[in-house]
Structure 1
Amino acid sequence: MRATQWTWTYEDAEGRAVAQESAVFPTQADAEVWIGETWRGLRAQGVENAHLWADGAKVYGPLSLRPAD
């Protein structure tokens, strides 16, 4: 049995896809820790929102990468 692959996709402020290669993570927790550590760099590249996927099925999103007020 193949392990689940967790990935992110990204959008700009208008909801257009941002061409950004996502790393592949072995667990949802690993993917979420990674986005928590790198969201500032993604924002600097024009990413507004992220979507989490498990083997091509959307788990959740959009997840805003804007800091809380």
Structure 2
Amino acid sequence: MTHEWHWRTERSGGGRGGSAQPVGPDSFPSQGEAETWLGETYPDLLAGGVRAVSLYEGDRQVYGPMSLEPDPG
């Protein structure tokens, strides 16, 4: 069974509630590779208006939404 891991996000300023959109490559072969990609690119995503992401395995949400913004404390 092949698992497809991918990130989805809601962008700020998206109007009425916004809608979840894919972010990054279409899919990753493993959870670890998806998380590594996010760790390397989250500053660019944040600069582009992405405030939070959720990780999916296929159609199943694994976790999230997870904020990309710095912890204030």
Range into which the TM-score falls when normalised by the shorter chain:
0.7 to 0.9
Determine whether 1:66 maps to 2:69: yes
Identity of aligned residues (%): 38
Aligned residues: 68
TM-score, normalised with respect to structure 1: 0.83
Gaps of 5+ in 1: none
Q: Distance in 1 between matches of 2:35 and 2:42?
A: 10
Determine whether 1:6 maps to 2:2: no
The CA RMSD over aligned residues, in Å, is 1.9
Aligned to 1:31: 34
Distance 1:20 1:5, change over 3 A: closer
- Measured after TM superposition, the shift of residue 49 of structure 1 is 0.2
- Measured after TM superposition, the shift of residue 13 of structure 1 is 3.9
TM-score, normalised with respect to structure 2: 0.79
